[in-house]
A and B are shown apart, each in its own frame.
Chain A
């Protein structure tokens, strides 16, 4: 995959999407299936069940922190392709809860583009934000894009 050249300040954004109960259910199946090594059903918890969330004093189910990390990681894969799988790093911190139903946008902003022996290393801030622009998950990432 050829990767466009990016400059400091460039922002790459994914489309806004709500994290729905169906989506938290998909991730529950995904995580449990991968962890167990066999197909697993949705686990009922504060991410997937309104009843369980209410029993824990929450006004609504909340997304697993990994949900936004997964979406940011997907955006890195879409942007940098196999370079991210081979020499990529991602660090995220969950600074606010993500309520189910909230439209979420994930973004990358290039903060440095450094020449390295293999090609160029892009460093970036990453985050997810709600429709009001409030950041919910924040962090940083880097990818070395190798040149032939």
Chain B
């Protein structure tokens, strides 16, 4: 735990890694949420004969690692701050598929934080590998922190 909210994160912060086993429930629900009917997200099928996750599930990995590290703002647990965030940029490179039943290790941190045109931007980096060390995904994410809801509104 970093003892921080997301808005407290700084360049150079390194997250405590998250390890978890990829489940059929999480893959099929995520695929359903993006309306991807490819059968390999729901049952073992050609060409892998295993259930494979959609590449964009890296976004759930970002939530997982923030949940495990920013103990003052845990959005999955519904612990929010008043600050609204705007996801600005998604940048994902897929190196190999990730399959249900595999243990995944998510590492990451803050590459930079900067001000531009009045905005406060946070640049995350993430890396996902299997427990055996096979690289699955690398990811960069740019989030605008400084968006504030209207005064007096929560």
Contact = CB atoms under 8 A, between A and B. Distances in A.
- Please indicate whether A and B come from the same complex rather than being unrelated chains: yes
A23 B60 CA distance: 17
Interface of B: 20, 23, 25-27, 29-36, 38, 47-48, 52, 54-57, 59-60, 63-64, 67, 76, 78, 84, 86-97, 149-150, 153-154
Interface stretch (A3-11, A27-35, A114-122, A127-135): A27-35
Interface residues of A, number: 46
A94 B86 contact: yes
Looking at chain B's contact residues, the main secondary structure is mixed
B94 A89 contact: yes
A34 B30 contact: yes
A49 interface: no
A139 to B, nearest CB: 8
A43 interface: yes
Given A31-B63, A35-B67, A37-B23, A94 B35 contact: no
A75 to B, nearest CB: 10
Given A39-B29, A57-B153, A27 B57 contact: no
A70 B54 CA distance: 9
B133 to A, nearest CB: 17
B99 to A, nearest CB: 10
5 contacts: A30-B33, A34-B26, A35-B76, A85-B52, A91-B89
Contact of B55 (A28, A90, A92): A90
Nearest to A72: B56
Given A31-B63, A39-B29, A69 B56 contact: yes
A91 B90 contact: yes
Given A34-B57, A35-B64, A94-B86, A27 B36 contact: no
